[in-house]
Amino acid sequence: MALLQISEPGMSAAPHQHKLAVGIDLGTTNSLVATVRSGLSHVLGDEHGHTLLPSVVHYAENRMIVVGTEAQKKQNSDPHNTIVSVKRFMGRGIKDIDATQLPYHFAEQAGMLQIETRAGIKSPVEVSAEILKVLKARAEQALGGALIGAVITVPAYFDDAQRQATKDAARLAGLNVLRLLNEPTAAAVAYGLDNASEGVYVIYDLGGGTFDVSILQLSKGVFEVLATNGDSALGGDDFDHRIYCWILETAKLSPRNAHDTRLLMSKSREAKEWLTAHAETQISCLMSDGEFVNLTISCEQFTALTANLVQKTISPIRKALRDAGLTIENIDGVVMVGGATRMPQIQQVVAEYFKQTPLTNLDPDKVVALGAAIQANVLAGNKSDDELLLLDVIPLSLGLETFGGLAEKVIHRNSTLPVARAQEFTTYKDGQTAMSIHVVQGERELVSDCRSLARFELRGIPPMVAGAARIRVTFTVDADGLLSVSAREISSNVEAHIAVKPSYGLSEDEITNMLKASFNSAEADKSARMLTEARVSAGAIISAVNAALEADSALINKDQVSAIQDEIQRLAAICATDDTDAIHAGVETLNHATEEFAAVRMNASVSRALAGKALDEIKL
């Protein structure tokens, strides 16, 4: 028996009304838009039937903005005004890129980098918005109506700034973002629902510039990401470059000019794609100096040239399995995503490692957009036979700076999204009425080795002795992976809050390097943390003893005061060294030197409390 759905007068939907929502794969090289029609997800094409839209924007001389294939034709003749691979710039500052290796003129501005074009200064958000506008128009033309929203996919390693930049681009394009969805998760949704799969699946995503691996648990429409990892410096372009180097070596060519380099790289890419389904291919081209290159490369040669590149994808897989607490025996299937996974040597190594044939029945170029469309259809409220719940993870730990420059993790990496975690902290000094909250991201123990995300202050803390205040700091990360932080002093309910939206954030390389550094520097980080904690503890004891002497030094003789002061100076000197054990020993020595003083102070305190009171007035 079905429940009746009751609406306000005039607000009920017409029978069988379908709300128009799409999934968008905003890619570095190509972008796609897909939707669900008659219960099936489809990638939408343009008027010529082309589904892939090159992610290229050209600002023409007539101030027209051209996007896609026509813009791509201008990247060699007008590189300063033809923006390609803009996704690399989203949420990034000028210091995060090597501007000397790019054909653009960058404007000197704080925050996210800006590109000078004949149409004016353009941010990566504005450029991406032009791509999204074309996809939006394509969808509305194909579906015959206005969209109520879109699910847009992002790399799993996108940080807060990059995700926020993507949402801003969508807003500029007139799109309502229903959700930002991690690309591997979108692929898992498309595969899982298309095949009614359940179990633990690995998403092996090798694109043009990056490699990502995610492990998901699929169970009755629930898609839970267990772990994610990758290599942001490995992709299909590296396989092209191996063929390019082979051409130079085999044909005995000296380094060429930019025209010849582009030509040889293009031929290398064509050869790679041809060898996907053929035993060998011919590489023929005419160099700018009139020299003719005519070579034949076989599939076996190509496999040998790229063997170490293929093996480099195995290390992130091992790490992801370890983080998820799984072995290859626990894996029910491996889904191949990204055009580069079509290479036979990739599929062979994956099959050998997991001891099973990888799953390739869905188009690796389209699977991300298809999964996003399925999620968009659900979030739009359209009825579906498939119940769907997505549980993604955060790729890097989030925390804050504590005294001594230590990074205290509040939300650990690979925590399921959305997530909210709280932790209590306290003041360090007597009478402290404010606290600076410094939000950081990374896996290292010291703040100096992590990335700063935001700072804010909690003011109005009631003056108390050090350690008495209770400040509860809450980190909240929503389903889009966007962070907000609040701080509240428990006794007074004084509160401060910030939505973390840095002007630009982490690159994928920085995130990968942070993870690598955390593994390689674990022992050094542990030692550094122990040293800092010892210094902080010693400093707190020195402050407490000095305060006690200032208040009650008259209770002991001058020689005792002098002896305690000598130990304080000795401990302060030891704290300037890097000897953690010596600091702990110095603390013990100072504690021992103040034992008699502490006893005298206790007696005096008790005497003051009992002075003038009769025995029957004292409550035992």
Instruction: Answer yes or no: is 469 within a domain.
Output: yes
User: How high does pLDDT run on average in the chain?
Assistant: 83
Helix axis angle for 124-143 and 160-172, nearest 10°, is 50
What distance separates the 2 farthest-apart alpha carbons in the chain?
A: 114
What pLDDT, in 10s, does the model give residues 496-535? 766 665 545 444 454 456 556 556 666 776 787 788 788 8
Tell me: do 254 and 303 sit in the same domain. Answer: yes
* C-alpha–C-alpha distance, residues 329 and 498, integer Å: 44
Percent over 90 (pLDDT), the chain: 30
Which pLDDT band holds residue 215 (cuts at 50, 70, 90)?
Answer: very high
Instruction: Answer yes or no: is 576 within a domain.
Output: yes
Mean pLDDT of 552-561: 88
For residue 494, what are the contacts with CB-CB under 8 A and spacing of at least 6?
A: 458, 459, 460, 461, 488
In this predicted structure, what is the pLDDT of residue 299? Answer: 94
In this predicted structure, what is the pLDDT of residue 257? Answer: 61
Tell me: do 42 and 188 sit in the same domain. Answer: yes
What pLDDT, in 10s, does the model give residues 56-101? 999 988 778 899 999 988 877 787 898 888 887 888 778 777 676 5
Tell me: do 152 and 33 sit in the same domain. Answer: yes
In this predicted structure, what is the pLDDT of residue 202? Answer: 93
Tell me: do 473 and 547 sit in the same domain. Answer: no
Mean pLDDT of 31-54: 91
Mean pLDDT of 441-466: 82
Instruction: Answer yes or no: is 144 within a domain.
Output: yes
Which pLDDT band holds residue 344 (cuts at 50, 70, 90)?
Answer: very high
Instruction: Answer yes or no: is 216 within a domain.
Output: no
Tell me: do 402 and 273 sit in the same domain. Answer: no
Do 564 and 555 meet the contact criterion of CB atoms below 8 Å apart? no
Do 25 and 372 meet the contact criterion of CB atoms below 8 Å apart? yes
Residue 142 sits in a domain of what CATH number? 3.30.420.40
In this predicted structure, what is the pLDDT of residue 195? Answer: 66
Tell me: do 168 and 50 sit in the same domain. Answer: yes
Q: Pick from 320, 354, 383: which residue ends a domain? A: 383
Q: Choose between 193 and 449: higher pLDDT.
A: 449
Mean pLDDT of 225-229: 87
pLDDT at 609 over 70: no
What pLDDT, in 10s, does the model give residues 398-425? 888 887 888 888 888 878 788 888 888 8
Residue length, the chain?
620
Residue 414 sits in a domain of what CATH number? 2.60.34.10
Query: Which DSSP string do the residues of 347-363 spell out, in sequence order?
Result: HHHHHHHHTSPPB--S-
pLDDT at 479 over 80: no
pLDDT at 385 over 70: no
Whole-number Cα distances in Å, 377 to 143, 290, 492: 14, 56, 46
Residue 302 sits in a domain of what CATH number? 3.90.640.10
Instruction: Answer yes or no: is 315 within a domain.
Output: no
Instruction: Answer yes or no: is 345 within a domain.
Output: no
pLDDT at 149 over 90: yes
CA 398 to chain centre: 11
Token pair of 205 as six digits: 């995503």
Instruction: Answer yes or no: is 109 within a domain.
Output: yes
Hey, which residues are catalytic here? 25, 87, 183, 205
pLDDT at 2 over 50: no
**DSSP H or E segment with residue 304:** helix 299-305
Do 428 and 540 meet the contact criterion of CB atoms below 8 Å apart? yes
With helix as H, strand as E and coil as C, how does 394-445 read?
CCCCEEEEECCCEEEEEECCCCECCEEEEEEECCCCCCCCEEEEEEEECCCC
Instruction: Answer yes or no: is 613 within a domain.
Output: yes
Tell me: do 161 and 297 sit in the same domain. Answer: no
Count of domains forming the chain: 4
Mean pLDDT of 6-23: 59
Domain hosting residue 462, numbered range: 398-512
In this predicted structure, what is the pLDDT of residue 619? Answer: 53
Tell me: do 54 and 129 sit in the same domain. Answer: yes
Of residues 228, 234, 285, 277, the one with CA closest to residue 256: 285
Token pair of 468 as six digits: 């008495």
In this predicted structure, what is the pLDDT of residue 498? Answer: 63
Do 469 and 432 meet the contact criterion of CB atoms below 8 Å apart? yes
Which pLDDT band holds residue 432 (cuts at 50, 70, 90)?
Answer: confident
- Provide long-range contacts, Cβ within 8 A and 24+ apart, for 293-296: 293/247, 293/251, 293/253, 293/264, 295/247, 295/250, 295/251
Token pair of 597 as six digits: 């003083």
Which pLDDT band holds residue 616 (cuts at 50, 70, 90)?
Answer: low
Mean pLDDT of 155-160: 76
Tell me: do 574 and 508 sit in the same domain. Answer: no
What pLDDT, in 10s, does the model give residues 241-289? 899 899 999 988 876 665 677 678 778 888 998 999 999 999 998 888 8
Question: Please, what's the b/e burial string for 130-166 (b: 16 or more CB within 10 A of its CB; e: otherwise)?
Answer: bbbbbbbebbeebbeeebbbbbbbbbbbbbbbbbbbb
Mean pLDDT of 163-192: 88
Q: Pick from 483, 512, 541: which residue ends a domain? A: 512
Q: Pick from 464, 486, 512: which residue ends a domain? A: 512
Which pLDDT band holds residue 478 (cuts at 50, 70, 90)?
Answer: confident
Tell me: do 403 and 508 sit in the same domain. Answer: yes
Residue 556 sits in a domain of what CATH number? 1.20.1270.10
Tell me: do 417 and 434 sit in the same domain. Answer: yes
Tell me: do 418 and 564 sit in the same domain. Answer: no
